[in-house]
Amino acid sequence: MQTDLARRLAAEALGTCLLLVAVVGSGIMAERLAGGNIALALLANAIATGAALVVLITIFGPLSGAHFNPCVSLYFALLRKMSLPLALSYSAVQFVSSIAGVWLAHAMFGMAVLETSTHLRDGMPLMLAEFIATFGLLATITGGTRFAASSVPMLVGLYITGAYWFTASTSFANPAVTLARALTDSFAGIAPASVPGFWVAQLLAVFAGWAVLRWLFAPSAEAS
């Protein structure tokens, strides 16, 4: 389905905004109800995020591709499946709407709309985790698109749900989400000082994915 630019950007904006409402909102709810049990709070946060992703990718995918992530948009630009100007437009919308999603989640739960996180997530192990989380997400999208296109929403939702648990960083895998989560001092937050390290790891994963995945998942004739 071909859609005009305004509708594509609107789909990216609305989808990214709702994704952050799901991530931060479920984090706030989980923290309030888990009684201090961090494992239970993380489980609830992961399930809610993964479930929301399945729905959001399914309904917005036919309009914009449902990237909701500057890493995904840049990756598709590197693969020449979208133009760089369009990828930059997507990214700008994703950053702005992700912040709006955090503010909406705060307002919905009666929290101060403007705040910053104090949750430090520093160090090489977490940067490695973000590299793995982002590379794995791109592999999921690439392989799913190649072999099971109709299952991509479910595959991405399942991957992110799992990656909340098997990565030390709880799998942000998204520069816009990372920045937005620096603006919430809730369970889902990340201190602003930790954001650049996550961004570096995520960007490196994009270029690693471009180098490896385009060959790995290419049709046999192209790979040869």
Does 101 map to a domain?
yes
Does 118 map to a domain?
yes
CB 74 within 8 A of CB 57: no
Does 199 map to a domain?
yes
* Structural Rg of the chain based on CA atoms: 17
Place 2 in a pLDDT band, splitting at 50, 70 and 90: low
Mean pLDDT of 74-96: 98
Does 223 map to a domain?
no
Distances (CA, A) of 179 to 56, 97, 100, 117: 20, 11, 12, 10
Name the residue range of residue 141's domain: 5-214
Mean pLDDT of 17-34: 98
Does 106 map to a domain?
yes
Does 222 map to a domain?
no
The domain that contains 159 carries what CATH number?
Answer: 1.20.1080.10
Number of independent structural domains in the chain: 1
Does 93 map to a domain?
yes
The span from the CA of 199 to the CA of 211, in Å, is: 19
CB 68 within 8 A of CB 10: no
Closest listed residue to residue 18, CA positions, set 46, 59, 47: 59
Q: For position 220, what pLDDT does the model report?
A: 73
Summarised one tens digit per residue, pLDDT across range 157-183 is 999 999 999 999 999 999 999 999 999
Summarised one tens digit per residue, pLDDT across range 117-159 is 999 999 999 999 999 999 999 999 999 999 999 999 999 999 9
